[in-house]
Amino acid sequence: MPSDGYHSTPYWNPRNETMPREDLARLQLVKLRRLCEFAYEKTPFHRRRFDAVKFKPDQLKALDDIRRLPVMTREEWVESQTEHPLFGDLIATDPADAIRYHLTSGSTGRQPLRALDGLKDWEWISEMWAYGIWAFGVRPADIVYFAFGYGSFIGFWGAHYACEKIGALVVPGGAQSTRARIEQIMTLGVTTVFSTPTYALRLWQEAADMGIDLARDSRVDKVIVSGEPAGSIPAMKRQLENGWGAKCGDTAGMTEIGTIFTFECAAQPGGTHIIEDHMYEEVVDPKTDGPSNYGDLGERIVTSFGRGFIPLIRYRSGDIVMRVPHSNCTCGRTFDIYDGGIRGRWDDMKLVRGTNVYLRAVESIIREYDAIDEFQVYLWREGNIRDEISVRLELKPDRQSEWEGLRERLGRDLSHSHEGLRFNIELMPPGALPRFELKAKRLVDVRFESSAPGGR
């Protein structure tokens, strides 16, 4: 039997994950130039974009040169799909060469994007997950559970294949009840659970209702989350780690590239490393598209080297991030970090009586209150004149008596962090608010709906 010495390294790809940054930049430039040459030759969509600014891929002499190309938007992709159904003119080869179809979850309420991938694209998609989950400690001896519905939303598909690639035993949770999933986790001695943060919390609560203390009774030592910004919210992470008695690792991906682009390593530096040998990530000021500095909040612009079926060059993600140097982590990787993971989306920002409100900022405060079981942020208009913001809460069944004090404290905390904006805090009956398995939708804005006079 061959030696398994590689199990002990914390890096999936030791050479690249610890590569000096000047070498990393040289590698990115080689890949970027080849990707642009390929996209220019094979896709009318990208050729138009290059030609419009009189720029040719062979003029790419330094990474910064790519900034001559305007950012690509989701709207352009949708328009391409509409004009050239079904997949638009940004696909680089015959759709008959594809082996998989997925579509975006449409979390921003717009037309979903349709994505095709070939054989090697799927190998790459799982490879990116392998970087992340190896870094968090998944090894061949692990028994891994996917609390995931395995549908058209790309979700944890890539992670499933990555775990198989690593050699772990994979248990596909599939379509079954939360209770049945918990029973499987306990019966099979699962060590690692993949889920959205919200659903991981729900699994823990359901287990408690079944009389199971997951921290005490299960073998789970790693909970790996994705799909929502909440995975890097400290209070949420703390709740999950305490509830499961396990380390909670955050990852973030997007259907547009098919996989994750950032992961939390076992050193848990308070953020997620960018997979920089397979992506070129820029952070820009969303108003000017000018580059942001380390420590500035900005918007992610992604170029993915691996997925060639649909080349993505300078794609505007909508994600709010704060990039910091790799040296903020002790793990030895030279990949830079998104401090606090994905901090939300620019299109999640709501203006309420002149104050900017971000769902994630509100959630960060709410998660500090562990008596809260579920919540919803509800925006409405009083008398069609004044914007109002309500936080609707359900408390855990055994914590109902805390309501009065909690209402006052939470209202004060939210107001203090939002320039004095008054939040209405409302108690909802148990089970009244929606629960989510995939991407949670906890922001409801009815201010501009004519069918909702007064917004109520």
Partner 1 sequence: MAAKKQTDLIGVATGPSEQQALAIYRELKELAGRPDLAPCAARGVRKALACMWNVVNDLDLEFEQLYDLGV
- Give the Cα separation of 332 and 330 in Å (integer): 6
Q: Are 333 and 327 in contact (CB under 8 A)?
A: no
CA 297 remoteness from chain centre: 17
- When binding is defined by CB under 8 A, the residue of 23, 58, 217, 347 that contacts partner 1 is 23
Residue 179 phi, psi (nearest 5): -60, -45
CB atoms within 10 A of CB 239: 21
From 40, 77, 122, 194, residue interacting with partner 1 (rule: CB under 8 A): 122
Q: β-strands 312-324, 297-304: how paired?
A: antiparallel
Q: Which is nearer to partner 1, 34 or 238 (CB)?
A: 34
> Which is nearer to partner 1, 132 or 298 (by Cβ)?
132
- The count of residues interacting with partner 1 (CB under 8 A) is 27
Show the tokens assigned to 404: 């009065």
Q: How far apart are CA 208 and CA 313, in angstroms?
A: 46
- At closest approach, how far in Å is the CB of 254 from partner 1? 20
User: Of 57, 88, 118, 229, which lies in the binding site for partner 1, with binding defined by CB under 8 A?
Assistant: 118
| Pattern 246-285, partner 1, x by CB under 8 A | -------------------------------xx-------
Task: Output b/e per residue, 432-441; b: 16+ Cβ within 10 A.
Answer: ebeebbbebe
The reply on whether position 31 binds partner 1 by CB under 8 A is yes
Q: Compute the distance between CA of residue 36 and CA of residue 26 in angstroms, rounded to an integer.
A: 15
CB of 52 to partner 1, least distance (A): 24
Show contacts with partner 1 in window 288-327 (CB under 8 A).
Answer: 305-306, 308-309
Give me 351's structure tokens. 């203006």
Assign 3-state DSSP to the chain and report helix, strand, coil percentages, each to 5: 35, 25, 40
Question: Closer to partner 1 at the Cβ: 38 or 150?
Answer: 38
Residue 27 as a binder of partner 1 (CB under 8 A): the answer is yes
We find the least distance from the C-beta atom of residue 158 to partner 1, in angstroms, to be 13
Q: Does 123 bind partner 1 (CB under 8 A)?
A: yes
SS3 220: coil
Q: How far is the CB of 34 from partner 1 (least distance, A)?
A: 6
- Applying CB under 8 A, does 415 fall inside the site for partner 1? no
- Residue from 48, 84, 100, 120 that binds partner 1 (CB under 8 A)? 120
Task: Decide: is 61 part of the binding site for partner 1 (CB under 8 A).
Answer: no
Please identify which residue in 10, 34, 297, 421 interacts with partner 1, judged by CB under 8 A: 34
The answer to whether 56 contacts partner 1 (rule: CB under 8 A) is no
Measured from the CB atom, is 128 or 406 closer to partner 1?
A: 128
* Minimal distance, residue 304 CB to partner 1, in Å: 13
Structure tokens at 293: 């500095």
- Closest approach of partner 1 to the CB of residue 27, in Å: 5
Distances, alpha carbon 50 to alpha carbons 60, 97, 120, 291, in Å: 11, 26, 26, 20
Helix (H) or strand (E) holding 414: helix 403-416
| Residues 79-98 within binding reach of partner 1 (CB under 8 A) | 92-94, 97
First-to-final CA distance of the chain: 67
Place of tokens 């499933």: 160
For position 127 contacting partner 1 by CB under 8 A, the verdict is: yes
Among 106, 101, 205, 142, which Cα is nearest to 438's? 106
Residues that bind partner 1 in the complex, under the rule CB under 8 A: 13, 15-16, 23, 26-27, 30-31, 34, 38, 92-94, 97, 118-120, 122-124, 127, 277-278, 305-306, 308-309
